[in-house]
Amino acid sequence: MTRLLAVAAALTVAAATLALLSCAYTIDPTEQALIVYFGAPEGVVTEPGLHAVWPFRTVLKFDRRLLNLDAPSEEVIAQDKKRIVVDAFARWRIVDPLKFYQTLYNLNGAESRLQPILSSNIRRVLGSQNFAAMLSMRRAELMHYIRDNLNQETKGFGIAVVDVRIRRADLPSENSAAIYSRMQKERQREAAEYRAEGDEAAQRIRARAEREVTVIKAEATRQAQVLRGEGDAEKTKVLGDAYGQDVDFFSFYRSMQAYQEALPGETTTVVLSPNSEFFKYFGQGGSAGSSRKK
């Protein structure tokens, strides 16, 4: 009898302990809780720490941090008829656990409901733009527009979409090779145009330089001829003045120059008459001068 009483007391204590434990729960700073009584919601708890709850209540905890939603990669036809492979994702959080529980129930249900909405908005927004808009500064504006549309369509789900981003927006692989080839040919055509323009500019510069060289040479030749003519005139004038001062000496000097030019070597042979005027200074000294004076 005493043993039965001890066992009963132990069971009672254990039951009381379990009842007390079931009436207390803790909330992490990264969580928020919804109190449910046989499927009916009774309240939302957002304050972290230890909390008490009435028996037979269920505490459903939801993450209050940012959650990731990946959209499957799919092709989008842009406004300029280009097919684009888009890989995007969204960042969202639970702001109303009660509405979230009533509409999406849990994270798996939220992902299955939100992915089609995200994909639909991506196709609609990006399909209304050219491919170049996704590579320009308008890309951020398009992402904000998709985010606002998502919040408008999911405002009854107890969630808030914080951001939408595109990981990759590229052309399909079968189109990339053709586009890269066309881009390469375009760059080659531009390079050929630049080379042709450079060759044309080089020819113009070379022709202008050759023309300037010809003009400079002609001017230099003209000045040289002028100077040479002035020098010859001065030379003639000097020789004329010298001849007028002493005719005999000038004749003798000119004859000596003629002998030097006509008889340059030691074995030069000249066949002339002894009475030639050329040898007038090879006779008796002063005979030429005296004969000229008579």
pLDDT per residue as tens, the chain (294 positions): 667 666 666 667 665 555 555 677 788 899 999 888 887 888 888 888 888 777 778 888 999 999 999 988 888 888 877 778 888 999 999 999 999 999 998 999 999 999 999 999 988 888 888 877 777 788 888 899 999 999 999 999 999 999 999 888 776 666 666 667 778 888 899 999 999 999 999 999 999 999 999 999 999 999 999 999 989 888 888 877 777 777 777 777 777 777 777 766 667 676 766 666 666 666 544 444 444 433
Statement to judge: residues 57 and 71 lie in one domain: no
Domain of 253 in residue numbering reads as: 246-293
Alpha carbons 157 and 98: distance in angstroms, whole number:
9
Statement to judge: residues 73 and 44 lie in one domain: no
**CB 129, CB 138: distance < 8 Å:** yes
Statement to judge: residues 22 and 82 lie in one domain: no
Altogether, the residues listed in the chain come to a count of: 294
Q: How many domains does the chain have?
A: 3
* Whole-structure pTM value: 0.53
CA 84 distance to own-chain centroid: 23
Quick check: is 228 in a domain? Answer: no
Please identify, among 44, 63, 82, the residue that sits at the C-terminal boundary of a domain: 63
Alpha carbons 63 and 111: distance in angstroms, whole number:
14
Residue 124, domain CATH: 3.30.479.30
**CB 64, CB 30: distance < 8 Å:** yes
Please identify, among 38, 63, 88, the residue that sits at the C-terminal boundary of a domain: 63
Statement to judge: residues 82 and 151 lie in one domain: yes
Statement to judge: residues 73 and 58 lie in one domain: no
Tell me what percent of the chain is helix, strand and coil, each rounded to the nearest 5: 60, 20, 20
Quick check: is 79 in a domain? Answer: yes
Statement to judge: residues 16 and 97 lie in one domain: no
SS3 state at 58:
strand
At 223, the amino acid letter reads Q
CA R_g for the chain: 58
Quick check: is 28 in a domain? Answer: yes
Quick check: is 240 in a domain? Answer: no
